[in-house]
Structure 1
């Protein structure tokens, strides 16, 4: 896949987050996508990602991604960015993030790994199950 194609996927993905368009975000995902967050070390699927993003959209308005650096590799990109936004209480926040994204040959996101300081995250305290939503955790 060419750099320009991956760049389009990345731009489209972050524009959807900024606008709070959950359907557009999910349209970028491969059906078997896995999304990992350093905040809770959960390895999540689409349903769990939608749940998390819905909470993020509720808690944070005026979302803006300041892209500091984006590098491309065959099959994806790595990016440093700062998320800016306004919390429900009116306070502003900024969160530096490292973001690793793998895409397949059809331009769908297969894997995301997101690294941030969990103490600065607007999702601080929110934990997700480490198993896919469509399977039961073993006891």
Structure 2
């Protein structure tokens, strides 16, 4: 089951890369919450996905490279680097540690992301 949850975490991120909001949303429980270390507190999954949708027009490409994944029943902790290329020419990486919690049906119920953007030289 832990490999299945690791694969689900990756599938969720791949859906974000492809702006496949319906797939991302379907992988989450209706009451799923998201927290980022940006000081804004937590939000519901709908608000989080709407925020990503609102920014996607500025992104030329985005790719998640998973560095490592650890899991135990119902949880996945992973490190990844998001390579981002904006349409205005800005390039950079987001280094992140992300925690995913899943319910007994395999739906994401919580995402916590600790991230730091590093502009490319």
TM-score (norm 2): 0.89
SS at match of 1:31: strand
Unmatched 5+ stretches in structure 1: 123-139
Aligned to 2:81: 82
Aligned-CA RMSD value: 1.7
Unmatched 5+ stretches in structure 2: none
For residues 15-74 of structure 1, the C-alpha deviation after alignment (integer angstroms, 9 at most, x for no partner) is 101111111110111010010010234210122112211134222231101111111111
2-side partners of 1:121 and 1:60: how far apart? 16
Number of corresponding residues? 119
| Structure with bigger gyration radius | 1
Query: As a proportion of its length, which structure holds more strand?
Result: 2
2-side partners of 1:42 and 1:121: how far apart? 22
TM-score (norm 1): 0.79
Gap change, CA 1:104 and 1:52, over 3 Å in 2: same
SS at match of 2:15: helix
User: How far apart are 1:103 and its partner, in Å?
Assistant: 0.5
Aligned to 1:34: 33
